[in-house]
Amino acid sequence: MFAGRGDRVVIVGRRVELLRQASEDINRTAGADLAIPVGADLTDPAQVRRAADLIADLGEVGVLVNNAGAAVTPPAGDGLDALAASWRRDLDASLLTAVLLTHALLIMMSRPGGRLTMISSAAAQRGGAGPHSACSYAAVKAALHGWALGLARQLGRDGITVNVLAPGYIQDTGIFHGQDTPGFVATKIADTLVGRPGTPADVAAAISYIASPEAGYLTGQIIGLNGGAVLGR
């Protein structure tokens, strides 16, 4: 979406070959070499620093979308040690990634006009379901909320907005690793008021507005994008 309107886009992740393929697809669609892949595990401070140094060479950062995360990591056993390890993995994947990259890039953010967006989840607003281990996903996504609201207070004076987008079920993302069976999808659709799943294009459209100059008065907000599965609160 950003590349399609002429913006330079850096995509960061652990799977370098997938990033390269995505960049090629984006550039082919945009008709220009605007997407740049940067391989990094954002839970590793050293790799975050290297990624930030590469990004710094490209100039000022206008928009940062923190979208790293993972499905729930079940504990490897029944004991407290296994439970703690599982929760720490989920905290690292969904919270620490955003914290480290954001702080590494803050000095490069446009002032005024910078846009920070954290991708959370409807689960953070209504809580987790299933076994106790599954609640870690909702909890760590909710942790993004408090941190982002504090950043909004801190950065507002610089003209940088900070918001959280909390999607519901979004199809075609691969996050469920094939576990989104027809029955699972039907249940998710039944939760909505609009009778359909969300799409990556829905998320892109929401990010487009949040990142736009017209959204300069929108900051410190948790924005639900869930087809009415979770009502505003």
pTM: 0.92
Domain of 207, CATH number, reads 3.40.50.720
Q: Identify whether 84 is part of a domain.
A: yes
**Alpha carbon distances (Å) from 162 to 70, 84, 116, 154:** 22, 30, 5, 10
Which band of pLDDT confidence, cut at 50, 70 and 90, is reported for residue 130? Answer: low
Whether 44 is covered by a domain: the verdict is no
Q: What range defines the domain where residue 153 resides?
A: 62-225
Q: Over 70: is that where the pLDDT of 211 sits?
A: yes
Give the SS3 label for residue 222: strand
Average pLDDT over residues 202-229: 96
- The pLDDT of residue 149: 97
Q: Is the peptide bond before 112 cis (omega within 30 degrees of 0)?
A: yes
- Regarding predicted confidence, which is higher, 223 or 137? 223
Residue 133 has pLDDT above 80, yes or no: no
Q: Is 137 one of the catalytic residues?
A: yes
How many structural domains are present in the chain? 1
Alpha helices in 156-233 (DSSP H): 182-191, 200-210
Residue 57: inside a domain, yes or no? no
Tell whether 101 is covered by a domain.
yes
Residue 3 lies in a domain: no
pLDDT of residue 122: 93
Q: Is the pLDDT of residue 3 over 90?
A: yes
User: DSSP for 94-110?
Assistant: IIIHHHHHHHHHGGGB-
Tokens of 177: 């690793």
User: Is position 95 within any domain?
Assistant: yes
> Considering just the CA atoms, what is the radius of gyration of the chain in Å?
18
Which residue carries 């140094």 as its tokens?
Answer: 53
| From 113-127, 171-185, 200-214, the region with the lowest mean pLDDT | 171-185
Q: Which of 137, 169, 209, 217 is catalytic?
A: 137
Indicate whether 178 belongs to any domain.
Answer: yes
Full 3-state SS string of 203-220: HHHHHHHHCCHHHCCCCC
* 132 has pLDDT over 90: no
H or E element at residue 38? strand 35-39
Q: Which of 2-11, 65-74, 81-90 has the lowest mean pLDDT?
A: 65-74
- As a whole-number percent, the residues of the chain with pLDDT over 90 amount to 79
